[in-house]
Structure 1
Amino acid sequence: MKAAVLREIGGPQQVRIEEASTPVLKPDELLIRIKFAALNRRDVWITHGLYPGMQLPAILGSDGAGEIVAIGEQVTDLQIGDAVIINPALNWGDNPHFNGPDFSILGMPQNGTFAQYVAVSHKQVYPKPNHLTWEEAAALPLAGLTAYRALVTRGQIQKNETVFIPGIGSGVALFALQMAVTLGAKVFVSSSSDEKLEKAIKLGATGGVNYRSENWAKELKKQMGGADLIIDCVGGDTFNQLLNLAKPGGRIVNFGATTGPVPKLLLPKLFFKHLDIRGTTMGSPQDFAGMLELITNHQIHPVLDRSFLLEEIQEALFHMEKGNHFGKITVKIPEEK
């Protein structure tokens, strides 16, 4: 089969399309012919060696959707030909509140979805929502799961609350926007791009600000008042602004630090306002099922940025690395000739 393989770190240019062996199934596994895959920031970090537990060589890719073409002997609940999407959160464990010590993510160290075939445990697959195309289904798993857990499980979003999502444009942030609007919240966003702010408003955001403006936080506070819930993956110098923007008794849920660590946390703001700061990442099987139910019941469609062929995987990774995309970047996987 054709696969995108990373054998040494050094950036996206190190990923090569190679002929690889089709996976041999374990008794509890399925062989899935991938129709579409999707990129995550994680894939770019791995090419630079900036990810915990680096083990190379590896076939990258956490997100994918396709058809079951072979079934392990212990699998009785699925059939060849079933259309499925993959939950990339492997070995979460029994505790729904926190992943266990064996947790990992598909696409390094376990070979991932940038290939014509992938083998995964039958516990990791779910029926593809009928309202989604193959491309949309592939765009959903990692980002949709992360957004759902941050917003619903950890954020405990309620109808009519005010939600702030910094850095709109990434897959997770856009899913959080769509889900929050669907659940009846009033959502505000920020971006360095006025064009992205306009697109977010078309998706249901009530308002937003360009964080490159000098007084962006004051402008946002004027627009929205305070936020009941803030969903943050930015961290860095701006995190203390979130303490100012949160309402007394508000919640801040963080799942990343794309601009680096918080230099000096303003603790008085935290305790005088009785704020909750909650961490999260990925999600449990229960979260994945809940995310799918929300997406299906409300007919939510992922926001797509651009699609590449598998042979263009380096270009796709560079496109993500630049950070100008709005929505998910997908990869069309060729059928076997």
Structure 2
Amino acid sequence: MRLNGFNSLEHIWMASDFDGAFAQYVRVPASEIFAVDCNWTDIELATIPCAYGTAENLVQHAKISDSDRVLVTGASGGVGSAVVQLVKRCGAGVTAVAGQAKMAAIRALGADKTIVRGTNLVDALGQSSIDVVIDNVGGENFAQLLKLLVRGGRYVSSGAIAGPMVFMDLRDLYLKDLSLTGCTAWNETVFPNLIGYIERDEIRPLVANTYHLKDISVAHQNFIKKKHVGNFVLIPPAPD
């Protein structure tokens, strides 16, 4: 949730800029409330705001078209799995990187090709073989991602779960006319678009597990193990 206008880059995000994301009750401005006409459960709808909002923002910034070849890193996480669905919704080709045990689940989301995390991506795919990289991983493989991009290719990121400090050969950037974009502030159309996708049955929720709010520490411990595909949902106590 952000507390000022979509059109400003100076968003203020709950859980990032201030506490409260795990509160039982939250008060928000009416402008932050959206009606959704669907048969999803509350638990399923809870997977959408953070993971799918971030993913849709990445897809919009990357300007995905149906002719693009897109590489998605961290494809089994909440954001990554949403990106796979949203990119396929655009008609583009998806190559997804994830752990070996999660390959079947990622293919079921629509990935055209899966690559086991830790594989040398340049060896597996070849240089200049990808139009767009959507990356929330970073880390030591970052330099490979730029090698994969075609001339004029686009790289977008909203995270660095494998490490924020990366090596980059600037020659890849300027000789290939690459565009590198950071994506935190959402475009105004992000959430209305998602509601439309839900209501037209163009995406589906990915609930990996649910936990009662009192078991939040267990949820965090299991999240860190990274054995799941999709999202964890916390269930607050019933109102008194």
TM-score, normalization by structure 1? 0.66
Distance 1:129 1:105, change over 3 A: farther
Out of 95, 99, 103, the position equivalent to 2:9 is 99
Q: Corresponding residue for 1:90?
A: 3
Query: Higher strand fraction: Structure 1 or Structure 2?
Result: 1
Amino acid paired to 2:182: G
Secondary structure in 2 matching 1:105: coil
Q: CA deviation at 1:322?
A: 2.2
Gaps of 5+ in 2: none
Distance 1:163 1:94, change over 3 A: closer
Out of 91, 94, 108, the position equivalent to 1:187 is 94
Secondary structure in 2 matching 1:302: coil
Corresponding position: 1:128 with 2:31: no
Q: Corresponding residue for 1:6?
A: none
Distance 1:331 1:277, change over 3 A: same
Q: CA deviation at 1:277?
A: 0.7
CA contact (8 A) 1:190 1:210 kept: yes
CA contact (8 A) 2:36 2:195 kept: no
CA contact (8 A) 1:129 1:137 kept: no
Out of 87, 103, 114, the position equivalent to 1:197 is 103
For each residue in 1:27-83, what CA deviation from the matched residue of structure 2 results, as whole angstroms up to 9, or x when unmatched? xxxxxxxxxxxxxxxxxxxxxxxxxxxxxxxxxxxxxxxxxxxxxxxxxxxxxxxxx
Q: CA deviation at 1:145?
A: 0.9
Gaps of 5+ in 1: 1-87
CA contact (8 A) 2:146 2:172 kept: yes
Corresponding position: 1:219 with 2:124: yes
Distance 1:256 1:221, change over 3 A: same
CA contact (8 A) 2:142 2:167 kept: no
Out of 303, 321, 324, the position equivalent to 2:227 is 324
Query: Higher helix fraction: Structure 1 or Structure 2?
Result: 2
Matches within 5 A, 1:179-328: 179-191=86-98, 193-213=99-119, 215-221=120-126, 226-328=129-231
Secondary structure in 2 matching 1:173: helix
Instruction: State the structure with more CA Rg.
Output: 1
Secondary structure in 1 matching 2:27: strand
Distance 1:119 1:263, change over 3 A: closer
Q: Corresponding residue for 2:66?
A: 159
Distance 1:177 1:94, change over 3 A: closer
Number of corresponding residues: 239
Taking the aligned partners of 1:94 and 1:294, their CA distance within structure 2 comes to 20
Out of 162, 165, 170, the position equivalent to 2:77 is 170
